[in-house]
Structures are given as C-alpha cells and as structure tokens.
Amino acid sequence: MPQNAPSQAPELQVSEWLNTQTPLSLAGLRGRVVVMEAFQMLCPGCVQGGLPQLARVQEHFPESEVAVLGLHAVFEHHEAQGSRAALAAFLHEFRYSFPTAIDCQPPEGAGRALPLTMAAYAMQGTPTLVLIDRQSRLRRQIFGHVADMRLGAEIMALIQER
Amino acid sequence: MPQNAPSQAPELQVSEWLNTQTPLSLAGLRGRVVVMEAFQMLCPGCVQGGLPQLARVQEHFPESEVAVLGLHAVFEHHEAQGSRAALAAFLHEFRYSFPTAIDCQPPEGAGRALPLTMAAYAMQGTPTLVLIDRQSRLRRQIFGHVADMRLGAEIMALIQER
Amino acid sequence: MPQNAPSQAPELQVSEWLNTQTPLSLAGLRGRVVVMEAFQMLCPGCVQGGLPQLARVQEHFPESEVAVLGLHAVFEHHEAQGSRAALAAFLHEFRYSFPTAIDCQPPEGAGRALPLTMAAYAMQGTPTLVLIDRQSRLRRQIFGHVADMRLGAEIMALIQER
Amino acid sequence: MPQNAPSQAPELQVSEWLNTQTPLSLAGLRGRVVVMEAFQMLCPGCVQGGLPQLARVQEHFPESEVAVLGLHAVFEHHEAQGSRAALAAFLHEFRYSFPTAIDCQPPEGAGRALPLTMAAYAMQGTPTLVLIDRQSRLRRQIFGHVADMRLGAEIMALIQER
C-alpha cells in the first residue's frame, strides 16, 4: 500500500469553502487522517461512485480521527460548474455535508491549465481520492474506482499509526 | 393503467432545444408514442433513476415507434442549472442523446412560478415521466419511480394501439 | 420479436408440482399468456437473476392474464438438487410462490440426457425463459439475461393479442 | 469495536472439510487473523450478501495475514442441504474457493439442537460473521449485514496488532 517514501502533501489552494464556517488547511488538520476527494459536479464517475463513497467514509469513521473533505477541481465546463452557486446547489440537493473546497483556478492566460491543487498533486482527472496521514504526508492517490473494503482497510491502517 | 377519458396532451412550451437540429412539437410527433421525462440536472432522483431509465427506453424501443424526449424543467436553483451551457455540459458528460427541451420560464414577476410546460401538466416535481399516445393524448403521468417492467409494458400497450 | 411462424409449445412433462394444489398443463392454461422459467436451484444465474425477475413478472401482471410458472429442470448435480425436499426448501426460503413443476428425468440408461421438457424445447441450459401465447404457441425462448423493460414489453404484446 | 475483554474463540467442531486438502483448526491458524462466515446454502441472506462479501475479503487481504473460512452450519432443511454432495455442488457452482467446514450435527435425540460450533458461539442464525485475532481470541460476531467499508477497517485493525 505505501508508495515509496511518503512526502508532505501539498497544501490546499482554495478560493472558497462550503459546508464549513472557517477555512480549513492540511496544516490545521495535522494529527488526523485526511480523506479528500477531488471531483467535478458534472463528472458521472464522481456523482455515481466517488462522492457516495466519500459520504460512506464520513459515516463509518469518527470525525475526531478522520477528516473528510471534498475538493471541487473544475478543469472543464467552467461556465456550467464553475460558480459557487452551482456547487452550493449541488451539495444541497445531494445532501453532502462534508467541508468542500473550491480549487483555485489558474491565472488568466494559462491556457487549459488545471486548477492549482489538482496540478500540485499531478492528478489525472476526477474522481481522485487522496489519503493523507496524521503527519500530513501523502500516502495514497487513486484515480477512479477503489473497492469499499480496500478503502476501509487503508484508512484504518493510517488511523492506527501513532 | 388508462386514467379516465384521456385528453389532449398540452403542447410543449420550449425556449430552446438540445440534441436535435430542428425544434420538435407534440403535433409533429403525432402518430408515434411519446415518452417524455421532466427533469432537473441537479435533482438526485433524476440523475440516479429517471434519466438512466429514459435512456433504457430509448435503447429498447425503435425510434420509429417511440419518441423519447427530455424536458429540462427548472423550478429551483436557476442560477446553477438554468443556463443552456450548464445543460449542454450535463447531457454531454452523461452521454444522453435524446432530444431535450428547455421548459419556458414564467414571465418576470410571476413569483415562484413553475416553468410553463410543467405548470400546464400540473406536475408535482421532478422526475415526472409522461406517456403520450399516437393521437397526442396524455395517457400516463408518473411522479417518482416506476419499475422498468411496468414501464416497458405500458409503452408496448400504447405502441399496439392503431 | 416473433420468430418465424410460431408452433405449438410442447406440453410439459412433469413428475411433481409444488406451490399448486392441482397439477397444471399448457392445455389447461390456454387463453392466458404463460411465462415459464426453466431453472436449477444451484444455478447462480437463476438464483441471482432469472428467478427474482420471474417474481417481478408475477408482481406486475395480473394472474388472470399471465400464468407464471417455474420449471425445475435438473441436468447436473442430481444428488444435490434432484429431490422434491430440496426444491421445496429452496422455494420456501426464497419465498417464491409461483407454481413450480419438476421436469421429468429421462429413463435410466439414457446417459447424460436432459430432462424431458427441457429436451422437448431444445433448451441450452438454465436459466431459460419461455413465453407462450394465449393459443399455446411458443413465441419466445431466451437463454440467459433479458432486460426487465424488454420482457415487460414482450409480455404486454402477447396480452394484447385476442 | 472490541467487546469487553476478548476470550478465546471456541475451537471448531467439524465433521468434514471441503476446499482444503488437510483439515484446519483455529489452533493451527494461530498467528493469522481469521474471518469465518457461518452460512447455509439455502439461506437467501447468505447467498445474496454474506458469501459474496466473504469472497471479497478473500480477494482484498493476503492469505498470509487473513485466513478466510466458511462454516456450513445447517440447522434446518437437513434433508435438502445437509449432505456433503449438496454443499460441494453449491461451492462448485458459485465458485467459492475458501476452505469450508461442515459444522458437526448434534447427537441423535438432541431435539432441534444447533450444530456444535454454532452452539458454542451462541449464534442466532445465518449469516453470522466471526472475526478472530492472531491470538485466537474472538473479537467480533455479526449476525446479518455489515458494510464492506466497516468490515475492511475492522479486519485491518486486527492485522495491525502484533
């Protein structure tokens, strides 16, 4: 499961937060395991697979041990899914309550560049699931599907590390 | 299945069409059975149930007998799902190819009014499935879930009417 | 859907009936549509797909129009699934209430022969679904999976024939 | 998750083994985590839920860390599912390859007694999932459904104990 020597997870670069009253950061979550899903609200694999699974993570692990985060990483259809209002409506309708960050868009003129957090993690697309340990190190990054049983096991392995 | 004496189905009131080069109308579809789903792109029951089922209708019945239509009937979260661009991105990403109408919004100042086709059919929400016979009569209107087996049977019953 | 000129469905050859007080026959069911599933209680495709679907047929169509039958057609593992007691326990535990015939085993010395009804219909294995019209003609025979929507449509097409 | 002070798991009382060349025992499996499912081949909850899940446990965890066992604990319909041949046919058809024990039937005249291992664990029915740690202590016993994510986490927690 662990891949090479784990390095620090790049800090999140967020333009706005939803479902939380105060902005979050990996630095501030140090000491807990972080399970973060990069998604787009119009990505079928996210809507049908990744996000329901993230909600199950939230349901099965105590918040004191595992911080569950969404990362809205829009890299296409910006006009359709790029607004805060669109994301807020989506989270409301699908009843997702985990804190959700809007990934920073690249500066104008950067061409078809990825949003900044997505780029820092070198993600290939959405959904991408990221597991970060209690010391803020990046331990796993999964593009696409992962079975619930395996994910539950990997999260527990990180919880057990002290 | 048939409900009382069926009356003419109200004509569609459409501001724009997607997935078709020429605008459609119930009048123009006379002679075929019409299966139409009123939906919203941010409605979970539509995304997870109604629209995949509508795609199965399209797959199982010949286009020459059954016209399959989507009706984007936005009555909430207009800023998030009210634009043509948002709907186009949604249909593209989920690979829905059936002709889809954007239901006419009510005039300004009408308060929280429903879009016009939705109001004409007195729909209670989304998803709502509508079955219209070869003579353009409204034969069935279902708010929420209907089993594939029952829906297949009801469509076939209308196909057999000559 | 109809295949060539339909011929009379071969009469059932049954050693015992379960879930019915009086033995049934295709002759006696004339006038109704018959939906029959040939299955084996230890066939995964039957247990996970065919039989739950047959129960949905029973649920969605009125008994006065459609007779739903199981046909236990054992052609392997006779010692495990060949007894009336085993089948009765299976039907009881899975709560299947449709009348179920035990297909006649071939005479001793016939080698690896199929049970007699299965052989008369030239079935290739289980599950096999058979649709018989109101005039006792064989109209459809499906080995393996068929979608609920298509099956509902095909049954309705036969119901409508008078 | 842990329940009180864990005690030694009662040793298995087995009349026959399938899917293994040599008989197994909890004593012999000491040092590994044991995941055992008590089931009956005609129990719908076992066939549709418990056994497919047990196969997923086998798939996701290495055999060197986790021993996966079936326990055929027949307490009803003995004539239908009580024979070795019936169980062998079932395991073959459903392609279950984990070692499977046949729980010892109680002596004649014991009335409607449970099989011996099932009784020693005070199981309430099937399916029942049992988790045993590396020191052969009974750590969890679940009658009915448990989510894959939770089960994966609980197994990993036991794997991590040294």
Instruction: Quote the minimal CA–CA distance from D73 to chain C in Å.
Output: 16
User: How many of the other CB atoms lie within 10 Å of CB of B106?
Assistant: 16
CA C43, CA C56: separation in Å to the nearest integer? Answer: 19
Amino acid at position C105, single letter:
Q
Tokens of C31: 């006038």
Helices (H) and strands (E) in chain C, counts: 7, 6
pTM > 0.90: yes or no: yes
Among B49, B47, B27, B15, which Cα is nearest to B118's?
B15
Distance of CA C52 to the CA centre of its chain: 13
Strand-pairing partners, residue B66, are B33
Among B49, B152, B149, which Cα is nearest to C56's?
B149
Amino acid at position B62, single letter:
P
Q: Please give the share of chain C, as a percent, with pLDDT higher than 90.
A: 90
pLDDT value of residue A1: 47
Q: What is the mean pLDDT of chain C?
A: 95
Q: For residue D10, what are the contacts with CB-CB under 8 A and spacing of at least 6?
A: D117, D120, D121, D138
Strand, helix or coil at A32? coil
Q: Tokens 């939380």, residue?
A: A20
N-terminal to C-terminal alpha carbon distance within chain A: 18
The reply to whether residue C60 touches residue B148, judged by beta carbons under 8 angstroms, is: no
Please state the rounded mean pLDDT for residues D139-143.
97
Q: What is the pLDDT of residues D93-125, one digit of tens each?
A: 999 999 999 999 998 877 768 999 999 999 999
The reply to whether residue C60 touches residue B147, judged by beta carbons under 8 angstroms, is: yes
The reply to whether residue D152 touches residue A151, judged by beta carbons under 8 angstroms, is: yes
pLDDT value of residue D1: 47
The answer to whether residue A143 scores a pLDDT higher than 50 is yes
Q: Which chains touch C (3 or more CB pairs under 8 A)?
A: B, D
Interface of A with B (CB under 8 A): 42-44, 47-48, 76-77, 79-81, 83, 85-90, 93-95
Please state the rounded mean pLDDT for residues C27-55.
97
pLDDT tier at C3 (50, 70, 90 boundaries)? low
Size of interface A-D (CB pairs under 8 A): 52
Q: What is the pLDDT of residues A46-91, one digit of tens each?
A: 999 999 999 999 999 999 999 999 999 999 999 999 999 999 999 9
Strand, helix or coil at D35? strand
Q: For residue D137, what are the contacts with CB-CB under 8 A and spacing of at least 6?
A: D6, D7, D8, D9
Domains and CATH numbers, chain B: 14-19+31-146+156-160 (3.40.30.10)
CA distances from B48 to A45, A47, A52, A95, B107 (A): 12, 9, 12, 14, 31
